[in-house]
Amino acid sequence: AKTSTKWWNVPASKIPADETIHIDYNDQDKTSPCNTKFVTTADRVPLWVKVCKMRYNEEYGKQNGQKVEWREGDQEDILFITGSESKDGKVQETCVLSIHFWRNGTICIQGSAFLGWTDKIFPALKRKVEETLKNNE
């Protein structure tokens, strides 16, 4: 279910489809980032999914001790990466990363690793999308 954007965050509908990262915050003072998002054109969404599927496969999960899961739906594809941590003798699953690839072009990144993903991994994936496009021309 889509939640409405807090008034201090930019709604996806107002973001140009230029694949520039926008950070959403939990608080009005913008001290607590909660997710990032960017908008692309609808025809590029499958390419983003393909590039991410090449990176985030079962092998990636095994190497990192994490579970990688892809869910496909009518409106969006979702990548879930979960890790587990022991707390008070109980093993708890934590959401390391979830990426929602909306068919309309909005791509939303959440989870405990979203800021690191945004800084370090997003630029490399964006280059890969561009290279794939050039090779397909």
Alpha-carbon separation of residue 110 from 48, 93, 107, 136 (angstroms): 16, 15, 10, 30
Q: Which two tokens stand for residue 136?
A: 């397909």
Alpha-carbon separation of residue 64 from 13, 70, 87 (angstroms): 35, 17, 19
The neighbouring-strand residues paired with 36 are: 23, 109
pLDDT 10s digit of each residue in the chain, 137 long? 455 788 999 999 999 999 999 999 999 999 999 999 999 999 999 999 999 999 998 888 888 889 999 999 999 999 999 998 777 888 888 999 999 999 999 999 999 999 999 999 999 999 999 999 999 87
CA dihedral 102, 108, 112, 114 (to 10 degrees): 130
Residue 1: its pLDDT value, please? 43
Query: What is the pTM (predicted TM-score) of this model?
Result: 0.89
